[in-house]
Amino acid sequence: MKVEKVYCAYFSPTGSSKRLAEAVAGVFTAEYEQIDLTKMENRNKPYHLDKGAVLIASAPVYAGRVQAQAAEAFKRFSAPQCPVVLLAVYGNRHYEDALLEMADIFQSGGFVPAAAGAFVAEHSFSKAIAGGRPDQADIEKAGTFAQQAKEIIEQKDAYTCTLPGNRPYRDGMGKLPFHPETAESCVGCMRCAKRCPMQAIDTLDVKKIDGDKCIKCMACVKGCAVGAKYVDSEPFLTTVSRLESLCAARREPEFFFG
């Protein structure tokens, strides 16, 4: 098909899903429209793509599932059999049912999955797990993946992209008994409140965090310029210790094409 417009939609609290989506979208065209679903106001809009459009959709994986807010936002996309390229970004443990779930969501909106990739990024809970990823090697592989996806979309009119995963999907991440805290070193710069995708941080007093709204993306922790946001509860530390022991070995991106 002739590609007339490329859209790049991502939910990316810590920036990894955005970076990978941009690396893929940039291969398709020098100009593309970004849809930042990390912003709450953008997640509440409907998005209809016209014939000739390609969608790059990128989201983090939480316990083998598409992150819940991203999944709900993706359900607001529709298109007349437009190809979609799926990116599941996970913290070096596994992506399990995430790609299959993304494909099901977009197919219900009229899209056709043409290619899919599972990419590794630094785990939200620990810099010791896939620290610094996606690294340059990951970005280069994303470019190679994008070039193959582009050729398939331009040369074919139909796609059959078989993806790993199971239906019914795994349960995914339940409610976790911890959320970030704020140290006295906080300078009140508001950076954390601006980065929070759930508006869980009080804009009048950034030391206050609504634990019920918090999705544990750790954008506030990773983005604090003075290291004032942290988590040190026993359930969190136990979880991190277990993950660090299980997820030390480097995993590489996996690609699937229609």
Same domain, residue pair 155 and 185: no
Residue 244 located in a structural domain: no
Closest by CA to 196, choosing from 222, 164, 178, is 222
Q: HEC states along 148-164?
A: HHHHHHHHCCCCCCCCC
Residues 147 and 231 placed together within one structural domain of the fold: no
Per-residue pLDDT of the chain (258 residues; tens, 9 = 90+): 989 999 999 999 999 999 999 999 999 987 899 999 999 999 999 999 999 999 999 999 999 999 999 999 999 999 999 999 999 999 999 999 999 999 999 999 999 999 999 999 999 999 999 999 999 999 999 999 999 999 999 999 888 999 999 999 999 998 899 999 999 999 999 999 999 999 999 999 999 999 999 999 999 999 999 999 999 999 999 999 999 999 999 999 999 999
**How confident is the model over 215-228, as pLDDT tens digits?**
999 999 999 999 99
Q: What is the CATH number of the domain that holds 191?
A: 3.30.70.20
For residue 132, being part of any structural domain is answered with yes
* Count of beta carbons in the 10 Å neighbourhood of residue 93: 17
Handedness of CA 163, 169, 170, 173 (dihedral sign): positive
Q: Please classify residue 200 by burial: count the beta carbons closer than 10 Å to its beta carbon, then call 0-12 exposed, 13-18 middle and 19+ buried.
A: buried
Clarify whether residues 66 and 192 are in a common domain: no
Q: Does residue 253 have a cis peptide bond before it, meaning omega lies within 30 degrees of 0?
A: no
SS3 182: strand
Q: Which domain holds residue 141?
A: 5-168
